Amino acid sequence: MRILVMALISLHALAGVFWAGSTLALTHTSPSHKLTPELFRAQMSAAVLAVAAGAALWAIVLGGAHGPMENTLGIGALCALAAAGVQGGMRKSPLRAQRIAAVLLSITVVCMVISPYVT
């Protein structure tokens, strides 16, 4: 079980770092740099992997626990889902979608980092 949890944490972290990092990087590019279809597919693939691994970790590690830590992680998870929805749904305005998603993913990262310390 520990190996499975370690693998899921690694997958969740690697996919999440790529997703959040590429999103944040795209918000600081000039409008002439367009989101390529290849990068969009890579971002959405990373989003799916990060969310799926996060959901699996939630089920395995947290189970049915309820408390401040789980609530904080839940807020982060909702922000991540919203970010994926914004990025996938706003194809006509990709820079705006990246900017909105960047804020949501930043909140997600903060929630994950602070969750063990929330009382």
Read out DSSP for 38-97? Answer: HHHHHHHHHHHHHHHHHHHHIIIIITT--SHHHHHHHHHHHHHHHHHHHHHH-TTSHHHH
Residue 37 predicted with pLDDT over 90? no
pLDDT average, residue stretch 85-112:
91
Where residue 63 falls (left for φ over 0; alpha for ψ -120 to 50; beta otherwise) is: left
Cβ(97)–Cβ(86) under 8 Å? yes
Residue 11 predicted with pLDDT over 90? yes
Residue 100 CA, chain-centre distance (Å), reads 13
Question: pTM (2 decimals)?
Answer: 0.89
Q: Whole-angstrom Cα distance, residue 54 to residue 95?
A: 26
Query: What confidence category does residue 65 fall into, taking pLDDT thresholds of 50, 70 and 90?
Result: confident
What sign for the dihedral angle of Cα 44, 48, 54, 57? negative
In the numeric block, the tokens 């970790």 are attached to 57
> pLDDT > 70: what percent of the chain?
97
Structure tokens at 67: 């408390």
The number of residues making up the chain comes to 119
Quick one: pLDDT at residue 30?
65
